[in-house]
Structure 1
Amino acid sequence: MGRPPRHDRDRLLDAAVDLACEDGPAAVTVAAVARAAGAPSGSVYHRFPSAAALLAALWLRTLERFQDGFVAAASGEPAEEAVAAAARHVVAWSRSHPREAQVLFYGPRAFGRSSWPAAEADRFDAGNRRVRTALTGLAARLGRPDEVDRIVLATVDVPYGLVGRHLRAGTPIPASAEDLVADAATALLQSQRKGDPHTAPHT
């Protein structure tokens, strides 16, 4: 068997993650990644034919690793527990992968989203559709197909807001955060729907 490549794709992307976290997305250049990984620039260009391709690969690898767990949590049964599980995943993953969470916090535009190669742009759109499909399916399993926005608020917006507060401040995400977002997600799910005759209070 041949030896594994010394400067493989993941090692180069790990170096890119470090650069983005330390100095921002603008610091992620082919030359900087090569220096950080101790690799010749040719090794970087061999795997990423352009700076845009490098930035796209960094973002997509990070996003898809997050989305895999999120979609799995949101697709679980029973549906009521899946809401809390999806919210927990946002916090748990971010605490376990703080540098990758910081990459996601910058957003795709900071990594040159408009200049990505077509194949990478399609992957990005497909990943977002996968998440939307999971959340739409979750709303349907809950018997609330018209309340997808409520499910997004419970599983994405609220936990991401908590994570973002700690990322902005540069403080660790506390272990209690998972319970907080799970409780908030459950409360949003159980809150009375305006105009719903089955949940309106008796007078």
Structure 2
Amino acid sequence: MALNLFDQFMSPTHMGVPLMAIALSLPWALIPSPTNRYQTNRLVTLQNWFIKVFTQQLLTPLNREGHKWALILTSLMIFILTLNILGLLPYTFTPTTQLSLNMGFAVPLWLATVIIGLRNQPTAALGHLLPEGTPAPLIPVLIIIETISLFIRPLALGVRLTANLTAGHLLIQLISIATITLLPMMTTVAMLTAILLMLLTLLEVAVAIIQAYVFVLLLSLYLQENV
């Protein structure tokens, strides 16, 4: 048993060398690449269908200027999704449970959307800080509140992804420890907790997919406001 349940979220090292780089580069090695053949295998066909459907659904609300972000958003979705699912395998590490990594994704992309809005349509971008028809006494207060909410967006993106994955991994850890502890004493109860562990693992797979989609979807909504 680990001395601390949060030890599983520490960046693993081997002989003093951090393994974060390997964990981040592994998803790209697992994704199948298209071939020049007339017919591809089922895995590549399924991957292309998923990318097409996701990109179409993501970019439908955006105008033509926002379509330039198709490659970035789709690649980010596939990358985060693969990292989340690979982290559910035994003896692996989930890099997206690290807040620093998620903030590294969220802050530059959010800042890019803000800079695009200030460059292309500064009046509309600044107009988001003050709703139309606001009474004069409330103008300073609303400007401060909207400015704070604007700067909280990248923090909310990173914390949401980190908190959801961390909570799921902690529940899996706790239930697995309970199953192993109860197995020699109460076998029936241990079997019930094992079934609960399997169901929770399926739920965590769904959470990994949904959180990757929500992360990219919110970025697309921020982009929609500024293009």
TM-score (norm 1): 0.30
Larger of the two Rg values belongs to structure: 2
Q: Which has the higher contact order (CA 8 A, sep 6+)?
A: 2
